[in-house]
Chains A and B, each alone.
Chain A
Amino acid sequence: MYLTLFWTFFKIGLFTFGGGYAMIPFIHSYTVTKYNWISEKEFMDIIAISESTPGPIAINSATYIGHKVKGIRGSFFATLGVMLPSIIIIILIASFFMQYKENIHVEYAFKGVRIGVSILIINAAVRMFRKLDKNILSYILIFIGFTLLLFDVLSVIYVIIIGALIGILTQILAKQRGEEDVS
């Protein structure tokens, strides 16, 4: 069983390019359709939990499904499985890349690649923006996050903590106001 968990998540890790959300259909077809390790509803729960906890969805779902099937050891083998292909492939590429990074032809290509990557990051931000609830608060927070980081006012972690605290405060205040309205 541990081996099946390991091997299944190894395949998921090996065959998904682009990580994260590209993995969801793969994880679904193996763990729900093929092996019946979790139900459709549990799968949806895992996606929701992954979105509300830190860390990549691949590791979150491997840990959760592994735990469901075989406890903590199951988590360990599933997570190891999903990570191992990346670790092996990247180490191979890295040792290769380090030899060629000074190569002038590689540098020409990477002058272009750096621009492509910058665009990918902006597009990712646009996609995440579309998924947000659009209200005054989120626009203000986007602006605060953007400005504080662009001008190097605070480090990223503090910026995130400020956002989270404002979010929690707003939630508590909204709740109190809701209760006053009822009474």
Chain B
Amino acid sequence: MFLKLLELFATFFKIGIFTFGGGYAMIPLITEEVLNKGWMSKDQLIDFIAIAESTPGAFAVNISTFIGYNQQNILGALFATVGVALPSFIIIIIIAKIFHHFSENKYVIGFLNGAKPIIVGVIFSVGLDFILSSVFGIKEINLIKNIIINWKTIFIFVFVFSLTRIKERIHPIYIVTISGILGYILFGIL
């Protein structure tokens, strides 16, 4: 069990180091680690992301606590969460102590000029991957010929997507609630 706790800590520490640009930038890293390590299925991970988006606090802390708890109960939650927070904690203290002009350093600027667009591409890719999986039942990109055309999932996608285009500043918790209600009506009642 101790080894598993260490693995949780190390995995989330690594994720913490490479998360630039807030919560959503973390999703590609988490998805890859969790699926490669076989901790849970893609659907289950998306469920966890939904709950982490709809509860108070920082998404990064929420999702790490959730996955850690799922793997190793309360100790797992603590190891994962401390792991994800520690890189920022250490880096910020170093900056606060000695490196005040950090954001104006030319290497830092160059680093971010390159890292930020590539992260945007990576997030697009994961978003598309999740849509292929949740709307069309395509679990892996090379299985794209196994596409399932289901009017219910397509309806939910079109409805919720249009909603977010009409009202851009709509809170994630409403999106999660509305799509959950639609899912329940279309799959459970109809």
Contacts and interface: CB of A to CB of B under 8 A. Distances in A.
Say if A and B assemble together. Answer: yes
Interface of A: 13-21, 23, 45, 48-49, 51-60, 63-64, 67-68, 72, 75, 79, 82-83, 85-87, 89-91, 93-95, 97-98, 101, 104-105, 108-125, 128-129, 132-133, 137-139, 141-147, 149-152, 155-157, 159-160, 162-172, 175
Given A91-B69, A145-B125, A117 B46 contact: yes
Nearest to A46: B92
Interface in B106-122: 106-122
A160 B26 CA distance: 12
Contacts of A95: 69
Shortest Cβ-Cβ A-B pairs, 9 listed: A167-B114, A112-B183, A55-B88, A145-B121, A171-B110, A116-B179, A163-B118, A86-B57, A108-B188
A142 B110 contact: no
A145 B28 CA distance: 11
B131 interface: yes
A68 B56 contact: no
Nearest to A128: B120
Contacts of B126: 121, 149
B58 A56 contact: yes
B146 interface: no
A121 B61 CA distance: 17
Contacts of B173: 17-18
Contacts of A101: 44, 47
A19 B127 contact: no
Contacts of B110: 164, 167-172
Interface in B23-78: 23-25, 27-29, 32, 43-44, 46-47, 49-62, 65-66, 69-70, 74, 77-78
Most buried by B among A13, A85, A171: A171
Contact of A60 (B14, B28, B88, B130): B88
B116 A58 contact: no
